[in-house]
Amino acid sequence: MLAGIDLGGTQVRVALARSDGQLLASFRTKTPLLGTPQRMVEWAAAEIEQHRRREKINSIAIGAPGPIDIEHGVLVNPPNLPGWRNVPLASMLRRATGAQVHVANDADMAGLGEYHRGAGRGTRNMVYITWSTGVGGGLIIGGRLHRGAHGTAGEIGHMIIDPDGPLDNCGQRGCLEAMAGGASLARETGHPAAELFKAAQGGNEHARMVVERAARYMGLALISLTNAIDPELFVMGGGVTRSWALVQPTMIETLKSSPFIKPARRPRLLRARLGDRAGQVGAVEWARINQ
Ligand SMILES: [Zn+2]
């Protein structure tokens, strides 16, 4: 059997599957309730133990927020898991379950989930983008998850859109995340991003202008990604896609504005299908691929 875990700042989700990837059961809890890495590992191991029905768990993949030391399976200092510094997650889970454990980037896992079981099915070259508080991504190239030389490929949020733009948390200026991420829009307008999008929906001129500008920046990122990667499809998930009708037309219009990207090679843009299950579904796939 396999297990896929999606470790987020608000929830931890675990899915159990047959060795061919067929999902059997899933369960979740709130991350803050568990508190420490040790308790999270104990909880996940106990749930897996209880549901595995005497079958052996061969392989576990866990998607976690970056930065991650992929090679050693260590969470370095994820901003949305305060206190989780240098956590050797792979070895902790291995000790608790006896399975081989693969630690991966959460956006990579969500992208893999959409590729195998969601909006990306049937493609070979797909870019997954999660647009919410921050901006992240996962690259599927030639039918495989592309992780790069150090496991950090797909950091779409840190593509520089404007070198004179606002300073990002990462230290660069004018990153896509600093220009269009929900947290930066909230900082700029003084309203939570969800409120901002609601106001734009309701016809508020200023809110509409801010949202459109953010969608245009995202569209510029789509142009650069198309030129760099030549995907067939963009799949977009994350909280902002709840306002799809508000952002999709501007992104498409921006993508179409490139005279260099001819219609024949212009990728499609679809909304993600798996919602917040994408991460656990992708982690199961990663456990299957690496078993
Ligand atoms: Zn950045």
Residue 181 makes CB contacts below 8 A (sequence gap 6+) with 131, 132, 133, 134, 135, 157
The rounded Å distance from CA 47 to ligand 1 centre is 36
CATH topology of 2-104 equal to that of 119-272?
yes
pLDDT > 90? residue 82: no
The rounded Å distance from CA 180 to ligand 1 centre is 11
| pLDDT value, residue 168 | 93
| pLDDT value, residue 250 | 98
- β-bridge mates for residue 235, sequence order: 128, 270
What does the pLDDT average to over 21-28? 94
| pLDDT value, residue 79 | 82
| pLDDT value, residue 54 | 84
Angstrom distance (rounded) from CA 45 to CA 101: 12
The rounded Å distance from CA 192 to ligand 1 centre is 20
The rounded Å distance from CA 77 to ligand 1 centre is 16
What does the pLDDT average to over 109-128? 98
The rounded Å distance from CA 176 to ligand 1 centre is 7
Phi, psi of 16 (to 5 degrees): -105, 140
The rounded Å distance from CA 178 to ligand 1 centre is 7
Angstrom distance (rounded) from CA 51 to CA 136: 32
The rounded Å distance from CA 255 to ligand 1 centre is 22
Angstrom distance (rounded) from CA 161 to CA 91: 38
Please answer whether residues 102 and 90 qualify as being in contact, where contact means their C-beta atoms are separated by less than 8 angstroms: yes
The rounded Å distance from CA 175 to ligand 1 centre is 5
Name the percent of the chain lying above pLDDT 90. Answer: 92
pLDDT digits (tens, 9 = 90+) for 234-285: 999 999 999 999 999 999 999 999 999 999 999 999 999 999 999 999 999 9
The rounded Å distance from CA 42 to ligand 1 centre is 34
Average pLDDT of the chain is: 96
The rounded Å distance from CA 286 to ligand 1 centre is 27
Other Cβ atoms less than 10 A from the Cβ of 180: the count is 27
pLDDT > 90? residue 66: no
What does the pLDDT average to over 139-157? 95
- β-bridge mates for residue 72, sequence order: none
| Cα first-last separation, the chain | 10
The rounded Å distance from CA 155 to ligand 1 centre is 9
CATH number for the domain whose boundaries are 119-272:
3.30.420.40
Surface-to-core class of residue 11, CB atoms within 10 Å of its CB (0-12 exposed, 13-18 middle, 19+ buried): middle
Please answer whether residues 92 and 37 qualify as being in contact, where contact means their C-beta atoms are separated by less than 8 angstroms: yes
52 — pLDDT class (breaks 50, 70, 90): confident
Comparing CA positions, the residue from 61, 9, 107 lying closest to residue 283 is 61
- Distances in Å between the Cα of 33 and the Cα atoms of 10, 21, 30, 46 are 9, 29, 5, 15
pLDDT digits (tens, 9 = 90+) for 84-96: 999 999 999 999 9
pLDDT digits (tens, 9 = 90+) for 175-233: 999 999 999 999 999 999 999 999 999 999 999 999 999 999 999 999 999 999 999 99
Alpha carbon of residue 213 to chain centroid: 22
Question: Token digits for 275?
Answer: 């919602």
| pLDDT value, residue 243 | 97
80 — pLDDT class (breaks 50, 70, 90): confident
Assigned fold of 2-104: Nucleotidyltransferase; domain 5 (3.30.420)
Domain spans in the chain, listed from the N-terminal domain onward: 2-104, 119-272
pLDDT > 90? residue 20: yes
Angstrom distance (rounded) from CA 250 to CA 227: 19
pLDDT digits (tens, 9 = 90+) for 200-213: 999 999 999 999 99
| pLDDT value, residue 252 | 98
